């Protein structure tokens, strides 16, 4: 299973992590100097959920935004059975 939302197809994107040193000019220094640039990944907030896909209950990875917005069709829950 890839790191991708099954509903909205959100996936990881790449960017840079920039390391700087020095004091900013705004704070009285001579300015920030870039000392290193490394690649990094921005991963989506994926959660494992059971949803109904094509009439069957499947366990899939879904992003938190889709869960909060209600884009999922959740399966019906079984009623709790009491032993009285």
Domains in the chain, CATH or no CATH each: 13-69 (2.20.150.30)
Is residue 8 very low, low, confident or very high in pLDDT (cuts 50, 70, 90)?
Answer: very high
Q: pLDDT, tens digit, for every residue of 13-56?
A: 999 999 999 999 999 999 999 999 999 999 999 999 998 888 88
Q: For the whole model, what pTM was predicted?
A: 0.69
Task: Give the Cα separation of 58 and 54 in Å (integer).
Answer: 9
pLDDT, average across residues 65-72? 89
Angle at alpha carbon of residue 43, lines to 21 and 71, rounded to 5°: 140
Task: Give the Cα separation of 57 and 1 in Å (integer).
Answer: 16
Query: How many other CB atoms sit within 10 Å of the CB of residue 1?
Result: 9
pLDDT of residue 72: 82
Residue pair 59/48 in contact by the 8 Å Cβ criterion? yes
């Amino acid at each position: 299973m890839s790191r991708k939302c099954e509903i909205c197809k959100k996936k990881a994107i790449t960017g840079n992590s920039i390391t700087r040193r020095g004091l900013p000019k705004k704070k009285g220094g001579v300015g920030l100097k870039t000392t290193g640039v490394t690649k990094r990944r921005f991963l989506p907030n994926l959660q494992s959920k059971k949803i109904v896909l094509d009439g069957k209950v499947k366990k899939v990875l879904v992003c938190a935004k889709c869960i909060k917005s209600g884009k999922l069709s959740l399966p019906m829950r079984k009623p709790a059975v009491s032993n009285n």
